[in-house]
Structure 1
Amino acid sequence: MKKILVTGATGQLGSELSVLAPSYPQYEWIFADRNKVTLGNLKLLQSQLEDINPDIIFNCGAYTAVDKAESERDLAFRINHEAVKLIAKYSAENNVKLIHISTDYVFDGSSSIALNEEAKTNPINVYGESKLTGEIACLKENRESIIIRTSWVYSKFGNNFVKTMQRLMQERDEINVVNDQIGSPTYAADLAKVMIDIIESPKWISGIYNYSNEGEISWYEFALSIKEFGGYSCKVWGISSSSYPTLAKRPSFSLLDKAKIKSVYNLEVPNYKESLKKIFV
Structure 2
Amino acid sequence: MTISWLQAALLGLFASLASMPGMGGSSIGNYTLGRPLVGGLVSGLILGDIKTGIMVGVALQVLYIALVTPGGTVSADVRAISYIGIPLAILFVHSKGITGEAAIAAAAAPIGAAVGTIGTVLFYGTATTNLLWQHIGWKAVEKGEFKKLYAVDWVYPWISHFVFSFLPTMIITKFGPNMVELMKEHLPMDGFIMKALFTVGALLPCVGIAILLKQIVTKAADFIPFFVGFTLAKSLGLNLVASAVVSLIFAVIYYELEVIKSARLTAPAGGGEFDDDEEDI
TM class by shorter chain equals under 0.3
Structure that is richer in helix per residue:
2
TM-score, with length taken from structure 2: 0.26
TM-score, with length taken from structure 1: 0.26
Based on CA coordinates, which of the two structures has the bigger radius of gyration?
2
